[in-house]
Structure 1
Amino acid sequence: MKGAEIITEYLVREGVPYLVGTCGHGDLGLLDALYDRRGEIRTLSVHHESAAGFIADVYYRIRHRPLATFTSVGPGSANLPVALGSAFMDSSAFLAITGNVPTTQFNRSPFQETGRHFQADAPGVFRPYVKRSFQATRADQLPLMLRQAFATMLGGRPGPVHLDVPLDVFVETSEEPVPDPVLWRQGISRRSAAAAEDIARVLELLRGAERPVIVAGNGVQNAEAAEELAAFAATARIPVATSPLGKILGRLPAALNLGATGRNGTYQANRATRNADVILALGTRFDDRSTSSWLPGYTYRIPPTRLIQIDADPAELGHNYPATLGIAANPKDVLVQLRDSLGTVSDTHRWLDAIAAWTREWEQHVAPNRASDAAPLRPERVLAELRGALPQDGILLSDVGSHHNWIVQEWQPGGPGTLLQCWGFASMCFGMAGVLGARLAAPETPAVAVVGDGCFLMLPSVVATAVEYGLPAVWLVWNNGGYVSIRDQQRGYFGAGRELATSFRYDAGGGPYSADHAAMARSMGAEGLRVETPSDLAPALKTALNSGRPTVIDVLVEPEAVQPSSATWQLPPLQHPEPSFGWPDI
């Protein structure tokens, strides 16, 4: 078999349904092999390589099955790391196949070779953003590399893997047999439970707590453990806060669901976690935005709060906070063990009553703007209308920008896989392109991407891709006239009026500039709608969701809206802002 035929055959055996990418001379051989297998694996062509990566990333987050991407040599593949970084830092997985120059031309500086420091050095470009990078210089290396690539990608903490293939390796032949994934991986158990004595110690700490809190992260979603978490929390009567990326708890009783922690989290979540005496953390890495940059007393006080940390990745245990007890294990398995061994539970009714009072205070503060009739629209009104229009199981994708901050604070997801964000790497255009991955992964489920006007202008070509493949994605463009999250930081850190390169303006007159995003959509064959008043939004959303066609809704959003904060975030050495609500604790 030719090298490209080996790759295609292995992808078919793994059950990969789509290969997504952009053509180039470096991957011609791969495309030729895929031509012969069109009925078994579908090839999708996009107009920018990063879009392929975001589509594959989102597909995995919903289905927990990897796709593969294809890109060509040099700049084509150099466009992919922005999407790889998104998947890598948020523990999502796909196989990135890159074409390269022929091995016979290594070190001769052929067209598009990255070879100034090391020949055909695509692995050097990709290495920081993948779990492992392979480069095949002979076709007979491919079977082993493919088998190891999938095992690495899906084992332990998921993450993307890179396979670099020079042009000649795609077309040269090998007698090496293609491995059977069932033979190699079906017998490997993915369970990873805790020792009995560790479970006993966890329960001892929780039973002795007066103010326990569970903090759930994205590791709970990756472990498919939302039901186990809800069941344990309800039985033990322990409230649950989440990391922003871990917001999946649509089925948790409202009295126990505190929302997200950190600078864009809720008052009740931050006040509960900073006043807890014991925290059970599941699959969260305690990054800066979810912890108020580790500043003591804003989101956490660890110590004196005692931390029980459960994570599938041992490297995360005690990484940012000292753990009273750290256990390297699968959160799903540990939650089952805890539920089965629970027995008596502590009396948490006073603690839950206090949290309920904080929740009421917060709701009284933020709820009025959800019904605001102001135009341009208040962010809270936009999200309230969207929540009312999107079914509970509908998928919301948030791109990066000020709208993301509002979504973390306001959005109530319907359950696992219904709120998708790019958190660790914060790659703009994750939602812009990723919504196509959502429609591929869950074709019967409505999917809406909330994207900034800045993001839409970065990658509008995905609308054309949606039209080409008949994917009825919906984009809500949060049109507030610039990179407003950064503009607000300029104002906050350096003073009012000290703004540069963050608002969209005409150079000559200095007036505000806005593209007509709806007209751009129509020019590519999609539907395009514009919303300027709150009363127009619900009908526009209904039209878009019922149309069965790709649709862009351009919504004018108030650019001066200030988000309430119950925590903070620091950019050292700049002074962090104090929370604007409920601070300091009384």
Structure 2
Amino acid sequence: MEKLISELLVDYLERRDTKYVFGLCGHTVIAMLDALNKSDKLHYLSFRHEQIAATAADGYARMTGRASVVLSHLGPGLTNATTGVANASADSVPMVVIAGDVPSYYYGKHPHQEVNMHSDASQYRIYEPFVKRAFRVDKKELFADILDRAFKIAESGRPGPVLISVPMDMFSEKVDTLFFERTHHNISEIAKPSLNRDVAKAIAKKLVEAKNPLIHIGGGIIVSEASEALKELVEFLDVPISRTLMAQGALPDNHPLMLGMTGFWGTNFINKKTANADVILALGTRFAEADSSSWYKGVTFNPDKTKFIQIDIDPVEIGRNYRLDIGAVADLKSALEEITTAVKAICPQGKTNDALKEEIKAYKEGFKKSYADIANDSRYPMTPQRILKDVREVLPEDAIICTDVGWNKNGVGQQFEITQPKTIMHPGGFATMGFGSAALLGAKLAKPDKQVITLIGDGGFGTNPSVLAAAKEYNIPVVWVVMNNYAFGTIAGLEGSHYHHTFGTVFKIDNEPYNPEWSEIAKAYGIKAKKVSNADEFKGILEEALDSGEPYLIDVPMENIPVPTEGIWNINDIYTPKDNVVAGVLVSGEAEKSAHVSTN
């Protein structure tokens, strides 16, 4: 029996229990839209910009752990979606992008919106640098095989996006259903590699014998759902944990052994702990620049003092930035279970380190005290610290927060306690403006019983305010908290510290601060909205927004106060060179002599 490929694709997605397709129309995909229109199980969500569609799909996939689906037109549709898809790739988020393409019989003849500068119908190659695989379907008989492979590639190993470019005529082609028969019986999940027991024993021995061990975790812990396995090992050995931005929530920020975030926005206390460890077990982290203080030796990590052990699902990351004593490719959950079993065999009584826990407790209390005054300040525009304090006091601990870029990401990573996995979503690797305002839509669709908000700057929100239309059209009850400092605040602070001006980074008319009235714009979209007029009313408005059961925007005027940091970022040394720093290496003196307050 023959059926249309578009119909078989819908059937495939339904069998995968796909709930939503995120997209934007174009002439190359209307045959697919026709098939979606006939489905009772699939819901197609139409957005006003492809970046929003891809980012909403990103948020949905982070919450479900399964590949989300994006439907895109070719040409500008495909290029508009690139930022959202690349952001998902940088943060290891599974996604399958199905993109319409020019008709297969018109390759190279300049059909409408074709890209063919270097080869005919080559627009799908735009995605090759940041997707796990970019397919183009050149024969209808291969469609089922490519489709099935795409989802498995997206969800296996280190998760990430996969592109399938489909010539528009292919959607309307009929193919024998036998070609899809295999997809009815194929496995839906692929078993992940476990850790060799001898390797687990070797790692356990190093942890047990270390005088000053530490576990450094990245977002891979959350992706692999390894929080409980990590907690068991950490508490059995009383070993301290440091984390990256993307690992926030893997263990509670208030856990007695959790130090906090390392790197740029880490503190001296945390960075000293990691720099002076004799053994570091690194789990699901790439040792990226932000988490490693631009790899300055002795600031956050010190390979002269530390023996590194690294476990990751992606073999490409093993030993990329630091030399290793042991490297292993494995699923983190099963690896931690093997290591814990080996540790208990070597050291059945476990270890206690009450002095360390008291030291961490005292540090955390002192750190909170250091910004308590500004966090309780009632001045207006509000301080970012006050905004974060009020949000934490109002928001349930199981609520989901999507951040963006600036205070809402870096400050949240540093000062805002997250206690449950998958309740915070950061645009980590790509640091994409506009992430928060769209990702929360997907997060809410995936977790309709949870409160979902975004903390986002006015610069980030202004990149794509048409997210409001989608929230209204599909009645997605989320809350946007626009932290409005009338600037691209992070870059304004950075430029101001080095060049003593803010040219090109602040929003002004006739030298007066300018922004659209975001609350009025939201109302024009049919969204409930309020602008905060004094600091003490913010909490009440936030409570009202959360209780409203519908989309709600809060415009919060805010001072542009830099996120305080004691870490090091190489760009500061590029813009304002220091005598004791050459090519990313501290030449003389202790690491902290080069530390300075960043303006980010």
TM-score, scaled relative to structure 2: 0.92
Q: For residue 364 of structure 2, what is the aligned residue in structure 1?
A: 359
2:24 aligned to which of 22, 25, 29: 22
Q: Does 1:377 align with 2:378?
A: no
Partner of 2:10: 8
User: Alpha carbon RMSD of aligned pairs, Å?
Assistant: 2.0
How much does 1:6 deviate? 2.2
Q: Taking structure 1 as reference, are residues 250 and 323 closer, same or farther at Cα in structure 2, changes over 3 Å only?
A: closer
Alpha-carbon offset, residue 411 of structure 1: 1.5
1:285 and 1:275 mapped to 2: Cα distance? 19
Q: Distance in 2 between matches of 1:469 and 1:489?
A: 39
Tell me the distance in 2 between the aligned counterparts of 1:360 and 1:169. 62
Whether the aligned pair in 2 keeps the contact of 1:267 and 1:359 (CA below 8 Å) is no
**Does the Cα contact within 8 Å between 1:504 and 1:512 map onto a contact in 2?**
yes
* Deviation per residue, 1:390-444 (Å, 9 max, x gap): 1110000001234322111112113111010111111211111111001100001
Bigger mean CA deviation after superposition, 457-466 or 336-345 = 336-345
Q: In structure 2, what is the equivalent of residue 565 of structure 1? A: 565
Partners of 1:125 and 1:441 in 2: CA distance: 29
| Aligned with residue 442 of structure 1, among 428, 438, 447 | 447
Deviations 1:235-266 (A, max 9, x none): 21011111011111454763211111111124
Residue 46 and residue 186 in structure 1: after superposition, are their counterparts in 2 closer, same or farther (change >3 A)?
closer
Question: Cα offset for 1:180?
Answer: 5.1
Contact 1:230 1:251 in 2 (8 A): no
Note closer, same or farther for the CA distance 1:178–1:287 as it changes in structure 2 (3 Å cut).
Answer: same
- Cα 1:188–1:528 change in 2 (3 A) is closer
* Gap change, CA 1:360 and 1:267, over 3 Å in 2: farther
- Confirm or deny: 8 A CA contact 2:318 2:328 kept in the other structure: yes
Establish whether residue 521 from structure 1 lines up as the match of residue 525 from structure 2.
no
Please name the residue that 1:173 is paired with. Answer: 174
1:170-223, Cα deviation, whole Å (9 max, x unpaired) = 101111431455632247423x22112211111111112222211110000010
> 2:500: which partner in 1?
496
Between the two proteins, the alignment pairs up a number of residues equal to 577
Alignment-mate amino acid for residue 564 of structure 1: P
- Separation in 2, partners of 1:576, 1:178: 61
Give, as a single letter, the amino acid of the residue that structure 2 aligns with 1:562: P
Q: Is the 8 A contact 2:135 2:164 kept in 1?
A: yes
Amino acid at match of 1:81: T
Separation (CA, whole Å) in 2 of partners of 1:159 and 1:128 = 12
Aligned CA distance change for structure 1 residues 35 and 347 (closer, same or farther; 3 Å): closer
Moved more, 258-267 or 146-155: 258-267
After TM superposition, the structure 1 stretch with the greater mean CA deviation from structure 2, 464-473 or 343-352, is 343-352
Distance verdict in 2 for CA 1:251–1:456, change over 3 Å: closer
Give the equivalent residue in structure 2 for 1:288: 289
Contact 1:210 1:346 in 2 (8 A): no
Cα displacement string for residues 51-74 of structure 1 (whole angstroms, at most 9, x for unaligned residues): 111111111111102221111121
Contact kept? 2:252, 2:420, Cα under 8 Å: yes
Q: Counterparts of 1:218-367 in structure 2 under 5 Å?
A: 218-251=219-252, 254-343=255-344, 344=347, 345-346=350-351, 348-367=353-372
The 5 Å alignment of 1:70-85 reads: 70-85=71-86
Where do 1:81-120 residues align within 5 Å?
Answer: 81-120=82-121
Q: 1:414 matched to which residue of 2?
A: 419
Tell me the amino acid that sits aligned with residue 565 of structure 2.
S
The answer for the alignment partner of 1:132 in structure 2 is 133
Give the direction of change, closer, same or farther, for the CA distance of 1:539–1:360 in structure 2 (3 Å limit): closer
Q: Residues 474 and 519 from structure 1, CA distance in 2 versus in 1: closer, same or farther, beyond 3 angstroms? A: same
Range that drifts further, 363-372 or 204-213: 363-372
Per the TM alignment, residue 141 of structure 1 is displaced from its structure 2 partner at its CA by: 1.6
Shift of 1:575: 4.3
- Alpha carbons 1:268, 1:362 under 8 Å: kept: no
Shift of 1:547: 0.2
In structure 2, stretches of 5+ residues that fail to align are 596-600
CA deviation vs aligned residue, 1:274-328 (integer Å, no higher than 9, x gap): 1211111100001001110001121111232111111111111110111111111
> Quick check: 2:252–2:417 contact (8 Å CA) kept in 1?
no
Residues 106 and 119, structure 1, Cα contact 8 Å, conserved in 2: yes
1:54-73 equivalences in 2 (<5 Å): 54-73=55-74
Amino acid at match of 1:26: T
Name the SS of the counterpart of 2:414 in structure 1.
helix
2:164 alignment counterpart: 163
One-letter identity of the residue aligned with 1:28? I
Mapped to 1, the partners of 2:128 and 2:141 lie a distance apart of: 23
Contact in 1 for aligned 2:237/2:352 (Cα 8 Å): no
Checking the alignment, whether the CA contact within 8 Å between 1:229 and 1:335 is kept in structure 2 is yes
Matching of residue 453 in structure 1 with residue 458 in structure 2: yes
Instruction: Indicate conservation of the 8 Å contact 2:253/2:417, yes or no.
Output: no
Q: Unaligned 5+ residue runs, structure 1? A: none
In structure 1, distance between residues paired with 2:63 and 2:189: 24
Q: Secondary structure, in 3 states, of the residue corresponding to 2:186?
A: helix
Aligned counterparts of 2:380 and 2:403: Cα–Cα separation in 1: 23
Partners of 1:516 and 1:447 in 2: CA distance: 23
Q: Post-superposition shift, 1:271?
A: 2.3
Structure 2 SS opposite 1:137: coil
Deviates more, 1:251-260 or 1:107-116: 251-260
Q: Would the alpha carbon gap of residues 45 and 246 (structure 1) be closer, same or farther in structure 2, given more than 3 Å must change?
A: same
C-alpha deviation, 1:356, in angstroms: 3.8
Deviation at 1:535, TM superposition (A): 0.5
2:461 partner amino acid: F
CA contact (8 A) 1:9 1:178 kept: no
Higher deviation after alignment, 137-146 or 400-409:
400-409
TM-score normalised by L of structure 1: 0.95
Alpha-carbon contact 2:60-2:442 (below 8 Å) kept: yes
Q: Greater shift after overlay, 264-273 or 48-57?
A: 264-273
State the alpha-carbon separation in 2 of the partners of residues 458 and 117 from structure 1. 31
- Secondary structure, aligned partner of 1:25: coil
What is the CA-CA distance between 1:16 and the residue it aligns to? Answer: 1.1
Matched, 1:484 2:486: no
> 2-side partners of 1:471 and 1:215: how far apart?
37
